[in-house]
Structure 1
Amino acid sequence: MKHARIAYQGLAQEAIVTEAGIQLNDGRFVNKDEVVWLPPVEPKTIFTLGLNYADHAKELSFSATQKEPLIFFKGPNTLIGHNAQTMRPSDVTFMHYECELAVIIAREANQVSKEAAYDYVKGYTIANDYALRDYLENYYRPNLRVKNRDGCTPIGPWFVDKEDVKDPMNLTLRTYVNGKKTQEGTTADMLLGIPELIEFLSGFMTLHPGDIILTGTPKGSVDTKIGDEVVTEIEGIGRLVNTIVGENTFQTN
């Protein structure tokens, strides 16, 4: 089942996405062009994985031999929904997308083994975690400005129940810029998979319902420009659409 959060007639509400349309909590159906898409989950803590695909690490001239995952936090200010706009700062020379499988935590998790990890997963969605590479300091200190600008992480359009994704560690990821495919990979190539990430994180901190883990991106980082339409898609989950705008446009919306 596809679970969404939308704004309809001025109200934010949860909904189910079906072939017949978007079904609101009160049973009414509305068309997709009548709603504003919101992030499908109101997040607690957002974890972001860096260099979790060996080909992407090589692409950025980093070694992929770290003993522990490179994880940092994102603020909820970064998340925006499907069909929204993301700003490209005027001083940036390299701003690229990152198509990522996002894992949503279902219940409190502490000291969870990788064998039991999927019992704590609620579902999966798509994230496009834009990176402003001009601000990256080094491997050991990912600068906050790289990943924490307002609206720099489209997510959605919905999340899919974990039961509806047969093998989350064998999904194809693709990105299209203005209709041209620029990125393709598979979650099978993650250095640390979903079970290992949940085991690692819950080993020193408690995970809570609504926490989100962004699991990294494969190679294919291409600079994006103002006016570009960027579509990130993951097999079995859906397609997430986003448009790059300039500072003046972004500030007036």
Structure 2
Amino acid sequence: MKIARYTHNDQIACGMVEGDTLRPIRGDIFGDFSTTEDRLPLSDVALLPPVEPGKLVCVGLNYKRHAEESGAAIPEEPMLFMCAPSAVIPDGGTILLDSQDARIDYEAEIAIVIGKQARNLPEADARSCIFGYTICNDVSNRDYQKKDGQFTRAKSFDTYKPLGPWIETGLDPDNAAISLRQNGELRQQSNTSDMIFSIDRIVAFVSGIMTLNPGDVIITGTPEGVGPMRSGDRIEIEIEGIGTLANSVANA
């Protein structure tokens, strides 16, 4: 099931995506909800980020080849950092580069959307708190990343976390093809099966540190092939079973 968040006639709502249409949802997607019999063409609505995360938790260096291309050692446990939820923009939104001189990279990632409150989950129970999965572009200013020695500023500028286009609740996250195209040219191509730490391991690990709440998002790292973006670029990230997240790039 694909769940989208959107605006229509100046109203914010959620709906179930069925082909090129939406069936509006009544209720709370993280609680009790039902779909109506109405249909809206997707072309008639404006997609929003599929969720407004209270926390945006990020995992670094979670694909072996990306760690190698970054010149970093393979981590012994998930390497976590936080990003500002205010950086989130939807499918179709514009990434605004904070600098015309710095290297600012794209990073294709699968994102976990939490559906139930969780704390200290064992790996075997990790899926019990997951609502579904979406796509994220973990945009990163490499100059600030190197200068600061940590990631918060480099990855938290407004517009630096495109998220969408919707949440897929029925995905097998352990075996999904992931790819990124820049202006139609393939730049990243991998599979989530190549992750160092699995979805279950990541969720259990994070829940051992902080309480996870409905709507929180965990992004899980990027495969090899990251590279710089420039104003005028179009970045498209596709994850098998979810869809495509597409964003344009411009100078701020």
Q: Say yes or no: TM over 0.5.
A: yes
Residue type at the aligned position of 2:47: W
User: Cα RMSD between the aligned structures?
Assistant: 1.6
CA offsets 1:137-193 (integer angstroms, 9 cap, x no match)? 37x9423221100011111100011xx21x311111000111111110111111111
CA offsets 1:64-99 (integer angstroms, 9 cap, x no match)? 1x2222111111111110111011123443111111
Partner of 2:50: 40
Q: Give the secondary structure class of the aligned counterpart of 1:13.
A: strand
Distance in structure 1 (CA, Å) of the matches to 2:209 and 2:91? 33
* Correspondent of 2:150 among 139, 142, 155: 142
Partner of 1:4: 4
| % same residue | 34
Give the aligned length.
242
Q: For 1:1-253, what aligned pairs fall within 5 Å after superposition?
A: 1-25=1-25, 27-64=37-74, 66-137=75-146, 141-161=149-169, 164-165=170-171, 167-247=172-252
Distance in structure 1 (CA, Å) of the matches to 2:20 and 2:113? 26
* 8 Å contact kept, 1:47–1:214: yes
Q: Give the secondary structure class of the aligned counterpart of 2:228.
A: coil
* 8 Å contact kept, 2:16–2:23: yes
* 8 Å contact kept, 1:82–1:241: yes
Distance in structure 2 (CA, Å) of the matches to 1:221 and 1:49? 15
* 8 Å contact kept, 1:171–1:234: yes
Residue type at the aligned position of 1:158: W
Distance in structure 2 (CA, Å) of the matches to 1:20 and 1:176? 23
Q: Which runs of 5+ in 1 are unaligned?
A: 248-253
Distance in structure 1 (CA, Å) of the matches to 2:226 and 2:69? 8
* 8 Å contact kept, 1:92–1:132: no
Distance in structure 2 (CA, Å) of the matches to 1:241 and 1:218? 18
Residue type at the aligned position of 1:37: L
Moved more, 24-33 or 104-113: 24-33
Distance 1:20 1:151, change over 3 A: closer
Q: Which runs of 5+ in 2 are unaligned?
A: 26-35
Distance in structure 1 (CA, Å) of the matches to 2:89 and 2:105? 17
* 8 Å contact kept, 1:107–1:120: yes
* 8 Å contact kept, 1:92–1:134: no
Residue type at the aligned position of 2:24: L
* 8 Å contact kept, 2:108–2:222: yes
Distance in structure 2 (CA, Å) of the matches to 1:51 and 1:69? 8
Residue type at the aligned position of 1:48: C
Q: When the two structures are superposed, what TM-score results if normalisation uses the length of structure 1? A: 0.91
Q: Give the secondary structure class of the aligned counterpart of 1:201.
A: helix
Moved more, 85-94 or 43-52: 85-94
